[in-house]
Amino acid sequence: MTAHDARFVGGAIPLSGSVDMMHGSGGRATAELVQALFVRHFDNPMLRAGNDQAAFQPPAGRLVISTDGHVVSPIFFPGGDIGSLAVHGTINDVAMAGARPLYLSAAFILEQGFPLADLERIVVSMAAASRLAGVPIVTGDTKVVERGKGDGVFITTTGVGVVPEGVDVSGDKARPGDVILLNGSIGDHGIAILSKRENLAFETEIVSDSAALHGLVADMVAAVPGIRVLRDPTRGGLASTLNEVAQQSRVGLRLDEAAIPMKADVRAACELLGLDPLYIANEGKLIAICAPADADRLLAVMRAHPLGQEAAKIGEAVADDLAFVQMRTAFGGERIVDWLAGEQLPRIC
């Protein structure tokens, strides 16, 4: 096309200012936004094809699919942002089947008035996280809602992955005697988020642990293909995740409080706000449950990986019809570790 033609085809709609209803109308503004932000930064052939879906030849093996909506506030936080989180969160849920994540989709729900510069920053961050993880974002969607009907940006990512031959991980496979392993300190993500909330603001050097765990998982299933349970203790924290597993497997789980890695900042912030770190969200942590005979090998493999250097055995499964999670406190007593009840609110008493 000549320069003259280009002028008639339509100049670029300026990508300054903020998200407008027209960006979600399905018209030229939507198409331009998709090209200028998503296709440009996520850049891969499937996305460039410009269809409403991505097509691929799957490798041999069972496939897994997982989805998560991301609604974090604040959108930018120490150690990440909603974009990197949306990539890591879904990669991790796929990886928790012992699977190798292959592709991601991303659906954005944008609030009218959200700064386009912030959106671009998020997209750049997603692109970087996806590239680093080697899991491309191959299809997506963009909707815009009126101001006051959203919260800046929500991102729902969905991932597909393939499970290596011989691996069969599921939350219902824990057996009495099995060992519970954790790859590092708990509560980092939740405390990093809380530290930036208006009213609660406190100073800490804690950053979110948000990270893609599929590399660690690949090492783990390679070393111990018979690994029974993998799960990432995200919202609801370690406590809620373990209660889920206990109920799925109909076993009791017993933790040793002293063995659970925790940073001093997390402990202090929890004391300050009256929160229990067992219920604080993580975004780069996993628990693994394996047969006792496999535990040492698995722990060694975890510790050899950058995301598992502080890995620890934190407890074991026991026979218990009621499927309680209990904990020997560092103090020497015992307590139940219940599901998170309601939501954790900072408290004065």
Partner 1 sequence: MKYVDEFRAGDLAHGLAAAIAREADPAHTYNVMEFCGGHTHAIFRYGVQDLMPANLRFVHGPGCPVCVLPIGRVDNALELACDPRVTLCTYGDMMRVPATGRRSLLKAKAEGADVRMIYSTQDALRIAVENPDREVVLFAIGFETTTPPTAVVLKQAAAAGLKNFSVFCNHVLTPAAITHILESPEVREIGTVAIDGFLGPSHVSSVIGSQPYEFFAQEYQRPVVIAGFEPLDVMQATLMIIRQLNGGRHEVENQYARVVTREGNRKAQALVAEVFELRSSFEWRGLGLVPYSALRIRPQFAAFDAELRFGVETKPARDAKSCECPSILRGAKKPTDCKLFGTVCTPESPIGSCMVSSEGACAAYWTYGRFRQQTRPAARSTEAAA
Partner 2 sequence: MCLALPAEIVSIDETRETAVVALGPVKKEISIALLEEVSVGDFVLVHVGFALHRLSPEEADRTLALMREAGENPEAEFAEGSAP
Q: Which residues contact partner 1 by CB under 8 A?
A: 5, 7-11, 13-14, 17-22, 27-29, 112-113, 146-148, 199-200, 252, 264, 267-268, 271, 273, 320, 322, 324, 326, 329-336, 338, 341-342, 345-349
- 144 φ, ψ (degrees, to nearest 5): -125, 135
Quote the distance between the C-alpha of residue 311 and its chain's center. 18
CB-facing half-sphere around the CA of 12: CA atoms within 13 A: 8
Quote the least distance from Cβ 344 to partner 1, whole Å.
9
202 binds, among partner 2, a copy of itself, Mg ion, none (CB under 5 to 8 A by kind): partner 2
Quote the least distance from Cβ 304 to a copy of itself, whole Å.
25
Can you tell me the distance from the alpha carbon of 307 to that of 285, in angstroms, rounded to the nearest whole number?
8
Quote the least distance from Cβ 296 to a copy of itself, whole Å.
26
SS3 83: helix
Quote the least distance from Cβ 334 to a copy of itself, whole Å.
16
The reply to whether 268 sits near partner 2 by the rule CB under 8 A is: yes
- Contact of 108 with 154, CB cutoff 8 Å: yes
68 binds, among Mg ion, partner 1, partner 2, none (CB under 5 to 8 A by kind): Mg ion
Nearer of residues 134 and 177 to partner 1, judged by Cβ: 177
Cis peptide bond prior to 45, omega within 30° of 0: no
Q: Which residues contact Mg ion by CB under 5 A?
A: 52, 66, 68, 89, 93, 141, 232, 234
Nearer of residues 8 and 52 to partner 1, judged by Cβ: 8
The reply to whether 269 sits near partner 2 by the rule CB under 8 A is: yes
Quote the least distance from Cβ 266 to partner 2, whole Å.
9
Sign of CA dihedral 211, 15, 103, 43: negative
Nearer of residues 70 and 299 to a copy of itself, judged by Cβ: 70
Within residues 188-217, the interface with partner 2 by CB under 8 A covers 201-205
Place of tokens 């047969």: 291
269 binds, among partner 2, partner 1, Mg ion, none (CB under 5 to 8 A by kind): partner 2
Q: What would the DSSP string read from start to end of 268-294?
A: HHHHHHT--GGGS--SS--EEEE-HHH
Beta strand 334-336 pairing with 287-290: unpaired
Nearer of residues 128 and 268 to partner 2, judged by Cβ: 268
Nearer of residues 94 and 253 to a copy of itself, judged by Cβ: 94
What is the rounded end-to-end Cα distance, in angstroms, of the chain? Answer: 70
Quote the least distance from Cβ 205 to Mg ion, whole Å.
26
Residue 187: count other Cβ atoms within 10 Å of its Cβ. Answer: 31
330 binds, among a copy of itself, partner 1, Mg ion, none (CB under 5 to 8 A by kind): partner 1
Piece in contact with partner 2 (CB under 8 A), picked from 21-29, 92-100, 140-148, 270-278? 270-278
Quote the least distance from Cβ 305 to partner 1, whole Å.
31
Quote the least distance from Cβ 272 to Mg ion, whole Å.
27
Inter-CA distances, 33 with 12, 20, 52, 311, Å: 10, 11, 15, 43
Nearer of residues 188 and 232 to Mg ion, judged by Cβ: 232
Nearer of residues 196 and 303 to a copy of itself, judged by Cβ: 196
For the chain, how long is the longest CA-to-CA vector?
Answer: 80
203 binds, among partner 1, partner 2, a copy of itself, none (CB under 5 to 8 A by kind): partner 2
The letter for the amino acid at 49 is: A
Q: Among the residues of 75-159, which ranges form H helices?
A: 82-95, 116-133
Inter-CA distances, 151 with 65, 72, 93, 222, Å: 27, 9, 24, 41
- Contact of 128 with 85, CB cutoff 8 Å: no
Residue 325: count other Cβ atoms within 10 Å of its Cβ. Answer: 28
- Interacting residues toward partner 2 by CB under 8 A: 201-205, 264-265, 267-269, 271-272, 274, 347-349
